[in-house]
Amino acid sequence: MALDVPSLDEALALSDRLAGHVGWLKVGLELFVRAGPEGVTRLRQRAPIFLDLKLHDIPATVSRAVSAARALGAGLLTVHAAGGPGMLRAAVERAEGLRLLGVTVLTSLDQSDLEAAGCTLPLEAVVERRARLAVGSGCAGVVASPQEASRLRQALGADALIVTPGVRPSGSEAGDQRRVATAREAIAAGADLVVVGRPIRDAPDPAAAARSIAAEIADGLGGR
Ligand code: C5P
């Protein structure tokens, strides 16, 4: 569950409401900038922490940030695969028990966004190239959209973790996400973990929304 909320109190309240319904608590940029390491330490007592900081900088800076994240006791940490082989290797060297996920192409981007940023390859090819680079550099897995999960499962094999945001119950708002699918589709396509934020956070009954996504996940596992 993505704890995309503006304060630690709200994150703690939401994680309490969702206790038993979600496997990981994802601390992203908004919450980390507001609640910092103390927030991670408090939330870690409730469930394992997925620290979604999407690190992307020179190798020396990223390796020091990875050490700091490891000391916080997070279980998963994101780095941008576009940071290149040197940055990824530097991150992996410091990760030890912390599992790194390489972000391939943000799920809010489509082909025209990539082209606007100077990347003219087909989007799926960019996702696959960055995924291979991340896992080849020692990352435990990748973040991609559900639409690429099956291609990535083929490319990366059974051991790589495939984590998919951009998950929406059918008929719900996509918001700023461009490459979306349901949790059932993501899991059936080979994803190991789905990341869900707004469809749970903004639901009138977040625990009921989480339960319904859990049912879709079970359905998707049945469809493999
Ligand atoms: O609200 P929503 O379900 O769209 O939230 C998706 C979460 O996944 C957000 O916290 C966002 O930062 C994160 N994310 C993403 N796309 C990626 C990597 C992470 O949407 N490629």
Question: Mind listing the pLDDT tens digit of every residue in the chain (224 residues)?
Answer: 999 999 999 999 999 999 999 999 999 999 999 999 999 999 999 999 999 999 999 999 999 999 999 999 999 999 999 999 999 999 999 999 999 999 999 999 999 999 999 999 999 999 999 999 999 999 999 999 999 999 999 999 999 999 999 999 988 899 999 999 999 999 999 999 999 999 999 999 999 999 999 999 999 999 77
- Whose C-alpha lies nearest to ligand 1, atom 2? 197
* CB of 27 sitting under 6 A from ligand 1: no
Q: Please report the sign of the dihedral spanned by the C-alpha atoms of residue 181, residue 182, residue 184, residue 186.
A: positive
- Distance of alpha carbon 119 from alpha carbon 68, whole angstroms: 32
pLDDT of residue 224: 77
Q: What is the CATH number of domain 8-222?
A: 3.20.20.70
- Distance of alpha carbon 44 from alpha carbon 171, whole angstroms: 33
pLDDT of residue 107: 94
Neighbouring-strand partners of residue 27: 51
pLDDT of residue 23: 95
Domain ranges of the chain: 8-222
CA–centroid distance, 83 to ligand 1, in Å, is 19
The two three-digit tokens of residue 31, written as one number: 């919450």
* CB of 103 sitting under 6 A from ligand 1: yes
pLDDT of residue 172: 86
The answer to whether 24 and 47 have CB atoms below 8 angstroms apart is yes
Tell me the C-alpha to C-alpha distance, in Å, between residue 105 and each of 8, 51, 113, 131.
29, 18, 10, 9
* CB of 106 sitting under 6 A from ligand 1: yes
Best mutation site among 1, 3, 4 for ligand 1 pocket (most ligand atoms within 8 Å of CB): 4
* CB of 107 sitting under 6 A from ligand 1: yes
- Listed in sequence order, the residues at least 6 apart from 117 whose beta carbon sits closer than 8 Å to its beta carbon are none
* CB of 28 sitting under 6 A from ligand 1: yes
* CB of 143 sitting under 6 A from ligand 1: yes
Residues 182-203: b if buried by 16+ CB within 10 A, e if exposed: bbbbbbbbbbebbbbbbbbbeb
pTM of the model: 0.96
**DSSP-based three-state secondary structure for 164:** strand
CA–centroid distance, 145 to ligand 1, in Å, is 10
The answer to whether 103 and 81 have CB atoms below 8 angstroms apart is yes
CA–centroid distance, 157 to ligand 1, in Å, is 24
Q: Please, where are the H alpha helices in 74-158? A: 84-95, 111-116, 123-136, 149-156
CA–centroid distance, 162 to ligand 1, in Å, is 14
- Distance of alpha carbon 102 from alpha carbon 143, whole angstroms: 6
Question: Mind telling me the catalytic residues?
Answer: 54
